[in-house]
Chain A
Amino acid sequence: MTQKQKKQIAAVSIFSIAFGIAPAVNAMHIMEGYLAPKYCIAWGILCLPFAAAGFLKIRSTLNENRRSITLLAMSGAFIFVISSLKIPSVTGSCSHMTGTGLGAILFGPCSVSILGLIVLVFQAVLLAHGGLTTLGANTFSMAIAGPFAAYGIYRLLKKLKVNHLAAIFLAAAIGDLFTYCITGIQLAVAYPSEAGGIAASAAKFLGVFAPTQIPLAVIEGLLTTAIVIFLESFAKSELTSIGFFKKEA
């Protein structure tokens, strides 16, 4: 990053802190109609291989054991509910978790890609978070990039014998931040700045959403850790059934 870009980021973040005390903070869904058709299609196509992989994974799971359909549906509903509930946050404003990190750690990134797609459809239709034309872009950032990043970090830190809870915290927080960075870049690619092109535009988008998203990532990390602690102490057998401990071994 050049000196100029650093200054830009600093200036934009000050500006946005002053300007953007938002009453309601949603996870960063790109809203309906905000992307031009070619970007909608491009991001959609980029999601296809992941969705196909997820679909095959789910189909083989179901062929193996038909009972798991209720389990999968419950997992999807859980991700939806977690991301639609207000969480206690610093400013007293209502903000939402993305639930991607938690989903990826509990259910594995492959099934989360399909579950996330379904959740995003419902979020668009029932809550108007995100949209149908921006489904591809949102799926890529929230159901693919975020969970895979979170899961990768989680596995890596486990390999490096980092403290279990720290690994979960970092995986969830960084997964959240990664989602937000990808969304910023998606917006920047679609709307390059008049002065400075895509890089300057990305800096602007990231700067504008930083004051809401960075605290949110920390909260998401804390909550995810607390949820996993709770589950590990009370529901070992249930966690085994969704494959959480199977992957540990």
Chain B
Amino acid sequence: MIIIDKLCYQSKLRCVNAMEKFIFAMLTLILCIVSRSFTVSVLVLFITGILTVRGGGIPVSRYIKAMLVPVVFLTLSTLAIIVNITRTPLDAFALPAGSYYITGSCKGITEGLRLMLTALSSVSCLYFLSMNTPVTDILEVLKRLHVPRIILELMLLTYRFIFLMLNLSSAITTAQNARLGNKDLKTSRTSFARMAGSVLILSLKQSNALYDAMEARCYDGVIRILPAHHPARRSEMIAIAVCDFLLAAITIFIKIRR
């Protein structure tokens, strides 16, 4: 039901050390937003795209479709940055509307495009992490970064329950659809509310039983998962270091020249 979660288990890069992937994704992400330049963004898009599609074996069509997820937000808000409404026209374009102008400046348009590219390359970094690393591995990384135990436990259980609830809700929705529960807007709204309510009630009932079941298996506040041991390879570490060092060098170069 959640495509990214399925893809990351099939990824060929799944068995690469999770810490490595995490550090690479985060460093590159930070360099992206710090530099905010065309060069770095294009490079990052290229590198992470190749890594995810070729390295991870994620289908290209899936990857492109996933890259288009935030496109509505991206266009609308970049539009809001580029377009101005003023009494005096700016230099790039100006449409007169009454005594006002719908207008934009060249600088604004360049900034907007740069922002779009930065955002897309950042999303590709995020995808590199999430399409190649299962959530349980990410939790393992967070544990090594000393995130509080309670939060991790809560995250692990929440992650598990999300799928239980999604299954439940899709079963209920199917049943409702089979009984014309969505014949018009009003019924479908009622159906949605009833579905949501039932999902909550059913899972609240289950949560008690679940705790009993876990306690019967000696649950003491921590679910101990044996982490799959994938040691970091030296060649990979060097590649990551070189790559991020280069990106950092470009960033510094651009920052000095600006």
Q: State which of B50-58, B199-207, B230-238 sits at the interface with chain A.
A: B199-207
What separation, in Å, do the CA atoms of A42 and B258 have in the docked complex?
24
Q: Are B165 and A127 in contact (CB under 8 A)?
A: no
What separation, in Å, do the CA atoms of A22 and B155 have in the docked complex?
32
Query: Which residues from chain A contact B70 at a C-beta distance below 8 Å?
Result: 26, 31-32, 128-129
Asked whether B100 is an interface residue with its Cβ less than 8 Å from the other chain, the reply is yes
- Enumerate B160-217 residues with CB–CB distance to A below 8 Å: 160-162, 164-166, 169, 182, 185, 188-190, 192-194, 196-201, 203-208, 210-211, 214
Known: A82-B196, A125-B138, A194-B107. 17 other contacts (CB 8 A): A29-B73, A31-B123, A33-B120, A55-B151, A71-B207, A74-B203, A74-B204, A77-B158, A122-B162, A124-B126, A124-B130, A187-B77, A195-B88, A223-B196, A226-B189, A229-B193, A230-B197
Q: Are B33 and A37 in contact (CB under 8 A)?
A: yes
Q: State which of A5-13, A142-150, A159-167, A173-181 sits at the interface with chain B.
A: A5-13
Interface size in chain B (residues, C-beta < 8 A) = 87
- Enumerate B91-121 residues with CB–CB distance to A below 8 Å: 97, 100, 102, 105, 107-108, 115, 118-121
Q: Are A32 and B119 in contact (CB under 8 A)?
A: yes
Asked whether A88 is an interface residue with its Cβ less than 8 Å from the other chain, the reply is yes
Rounded to whole Å, the gap between the CB of B82 and the closest CB of chain A is: 10
Rounded to whole Å, the gap between the CB of B249 and the closest CB of chain A is: 18
Q: Which of A16, A25, A234 contacts B72 (CB 8 A)?
A: A25
Q: State which of B10-18, B24-32, B239-247 sits at the interface with chain A.
A: B24-32
Asked whether A46 is an interface residue with its Cβ less than 8 Å from the other chain, the reply is no
Asked whether B47 is an interface residue with its Cβ less than 8 Å from the other chain, the reply is no
Q: Are A76 and B126 in contact (CB under 8 A)?
A: no
Asked whether B85 is an interface residue with its Cβ less than 8 Å from the other chain, the reply is yes
Query: Which residues from chain A contact B80 at a C-beta distance below 8 Å?
Result: 12, 187, 201, 204-205, 207-208
